[in-house]
Chain A
Amino acid sequence: MNVMNIKRIAAAISCSLMTVVAHAAVLPATQTDSQWFKDSAANVAAKAQVETQKTAKNVILFVGDGMGVSTLTAARIFQGQQQPGNQGGEEGFLSFEQFPHTALVKTYNTNQQTPDSAGTMTAMTTGVKTKAGIISISDTSLRGNCLSSKGNELVTLVDLANAKGLSTGIISTARLTHATPAAAYAKSPERDWEGDANLPAEAVANGCTDIASQLVMRDEANALTVALGGGRSYFLPKEITDGENKAGKRKDGKDLTKTWVDSFSKAAYVWDKKGFDAVDVANTDHLLGLFNPSHMEYEADRADDVAGEPSLTEMTTKSLEMLKKNDKGYLLIVESGRIDHAHHAGNASRALSDAVELSNAVKAAMDATSSDDTLIMVTADHSHVFTIAGYPKRGNPILGLVHNVDGSLATANDNKPYTTLAYTNGPGAVVGVRDDLTSVDTQNKDFMQQALIPMESETHAGEDISLHARGPGSNLVQGVIEQNVIFHIINQAQQLGGTKY
């Protein structure tokens, strides 16, 4: 579909709107004078004026790990309720929720109805669905078997962008070697092969390499311009203790942070907030930042980090400064990795804080780019069994106990109160008698939500997740799509040459 066609459709919608307006006189004033009516009419009018370019110079893909639709809704209210003068919090939007184009995305892996991050991110970065646990290798491979992966490696968006001469960047608040960011740049039949010490003998014998080394051991032409996140221990030998007094995990003696600096032109390595803030963007062409031995801190705990960590917003902003130096354009993939972890722990507060921070990072990207030449997409890899339940009154604290519209405390059949947010399964599960939460501060960030089915770790969910887009090519984001379509949208919008478009 070209711009002309889009304009024709927009014109048709506009005519339709005019028809509505022409008949508005039959609507009662109590309806047309309603702010709800006015705001929504203006919203539709604005949508009718949307024009979408076809070709994107730059693409930024944001992935909220485990950020299902219920997380978006709760995070939106969580954010709204912290804003002065809010009307309850429900009325707000996360930054990307007002993007003009949205789709629902089917997330299943080729072997799992409810997916994991390795298979889902592989779908997004290669256009091909695969098995759970496998990183950018087709599903003809066996998980954890190096030999079977040979010949089944997939070309990723990062490979294509680098081949086109674009700059590329990866950001994650998880370890950079974790499944989601790894699927953007590495090929591995096992997501757990993050460092060389994790490789079994079969993998070594058949020439598979660990994920950390695949991030660093690259030709200059195929090197990442920016890589920021956690996971430092997989880049350092076990003989080295890092600045936060944690030993590395590599057994091969390699210091991959040094390799990064030695291998690439104008390369820099930073590991704390102070170093990050001091990066000379103008004179740095390859920046590696590893801010934690493992995953970076939850946003709610970031201020307590030993050496200090940049926020997701700060990492996004700095990366864009770096990437913009390339006149040909760039591809940046940003993961908020710890929404997933907080959900696994049954801790809604931290999951929502991290989701809001992702929204902030997207806002920073919106402010730093133009929708004329930059496609921004925001999605998740999968959902979680996270629910928003009961009939709380408007403005009821999203982390609080349910209060009815009349303000009374809602109780369940056991005559005990319950929270709006809960999980279908996980560590907060009730076996036997349910705790009475009447005097419990459920809004405390450490509160663990109640759950139904007892499991040590709350699980992913299998329902669709959402995709939000603005900028050139965003009109391709529509309907219900398979997750691997995301690759093709980017490939087409940025003309990466991975297909016959």
Chain B
Amino acid sequence: MKNRLLALILSSVLLPTLSLSATAQSRMLESNKGTSVDCPTLIAEHLKVQYQVTNGKGQQWEMTLIRNGQDFIIQRDAATFEQWTSHGEYVRYFPVEKRSVTYRKGDLRALNVQHDRDQLYHVVSPKLQTHMVKTQVQQLGCFETQGFAGKVNGLESQLLWIDTIGLPYQFTLGATQPNLDYKLVIVEPFSGDAYSALTQDFQDIDFADVGDSESDPFIAKMINQGFIEHGSSGFYNSEGQAIEAQGGHGNHSH
């Protein structure tokens, strides 16, 4: 129980991911003086970013965030990706099966799922900065970054923040012995049409209908794999494992 709560607290700050398949059109290339890039014109509400995430065991994975206005997609692995809409809906997509499950606001509430939309949209919650002290301003590639340092969850941490797009350039939790490190590796513009294309032609089901759809082989498979409810929390621990909704009780197993 304590571990689950701790994981939930950590996850509200951090979003580890697994892998993704994406083609970068412009890359952040580091140089001795920072990052040298082919600087595209970026609009904070219409872009795609990819982070390389490294945990304390040296394991690495990637996460992608794609914004379309106030809607955004987060992809953590090739099997699924998730969309959060401005209406407060959460949609989990299964690209191989071309199926999706939509959790409407009422469904999320009924499941007692709570999330920090700001943290998801910005990868690292902007509120974090208020608990840290400013350090130096650096030009890294295309971006002017503001440095922050301070304790996060009891660990000395460092944040390089790109204010123009509201995202971290790098965030390191546990500065002397890194627990988790997020590093921006790709950033590019992403159009509304391209965004819409990502979610086209999926056969969608409301989460509310799952209970009446257990004869659906896809739903049965997803339930057995624990995707349906666990996916709804949107939170993952430092091993990339989904954390159950807060309304769950005990050690929910699948």
Contacts and interface: CB of A to CB of B under 8 A. Distances in A.
B104 A294 contact: yes
B72 to A, nearest CB: 15
B154 interface: no
A372 interface: no
A432 B250 contact: yes
Given A347-B111, A434-B250, A338 B208 contact: yes
Interface string B169-212: 00000000000000000000000000000000001101111111
A344 B229 CA distance: 12
B252 interface: yes
- Which of A117, A295, A448 counts the most chain B CB atoms within 10 A? A448
Contacts, number: 117
B105 to A, nearest CB: 7
B220 to A, nearest CB: 10
B110 A446 contact: yes
B247 interface: yes
Counting contact residues on chain B (CB < 8 A from A), the size range is 35 or more
Interface in A327-344: 338, 340-342, 344
B127 interface: no
Interface stretch (A7-15, A121-129, A450-458): A450-458
B215 A197 contact: no
A301 B106 contact: yes
A429 B110 contact: no
Interface in A449-485: 450-451, 454, 456-459
B106 A297 contact: yes
Given A192-B216, A198-B203, A456-B210, A430 B109 contact: no
B87 A306 contact: yes
Interface in B134-173: none
A342 B112 CA distance: 12
A448 B111 contact: yes
Contacts of B206: 294-295
Contact of A433 (B1, B211, B212, B216): B1
Interface in A251-281: none
A347 to B, nearest CB: 4
Contact of B248 (A197, A350, A427): A427
B223 A456 contact: yes
A197 B105 CA distance: 25
Given A116-B212, A192-B216, A198-B203, A345 B107 contact: yes
B253 interface: yes
A435 B250 contact: yes
Contact of A298 (B86, B106, B111, B248): B106
A454 B104 contact: no
B87 A344 contact: no
Given A244-B87, A301-B105, A448-B111, A427 B229 contact: yes
B110 A350 contact: yes
B228 interface: yes
A198 B104 CA distance: 21
Interface string B86-124: 110000000000000010111101111000000000000
Nearest to A117: B212
A456 B250 contact: no
Contact of B211 (A244, A341, A432, A446): A341
B57 interface: no
B239 interface: no
- Do most interface residues of chain A lie in helix, strand or loop, or is the interface mixed? loop
Contacts of A323: none
Q: Give chain A's interface residue range (CB within 8 Å of chain B).
A: 35 or more
A415 to B, nearest CB: 15
A428 B107 contact: no
A345 B112 CA distance: 10
A375 to B, nearest CB: 29
B41 interface: no
Nearest to A344: B211
Given A445-B109, A456-B229, A431 B208 contact: no
Contact of B111 (A192, A345, A431, A451): A345
A23 B247 CA distance: 57
Interface string A188-201: 00011000011000
Interface string B1-25: 1000000000000000000000000
Given A304-B105, A427-B247, A456 B87 contact: no
18 contacts: A192-B213, A192-B216, A298-B110, A301-B106, A344-B212, A347-B110, A350-B110, A427-B229, A428-B247, A429-B252, A430-B250, A431-B253, A433-B251, A435-B1, A435-B249, A435-B250, A448-B247, A448-B248
> Would you list the 6 A-B pairs with minimal beta carbon distance, nearest first?
A344-B211, A448-B247, A457-B211, A432-B251, A345-B110, A430-B250
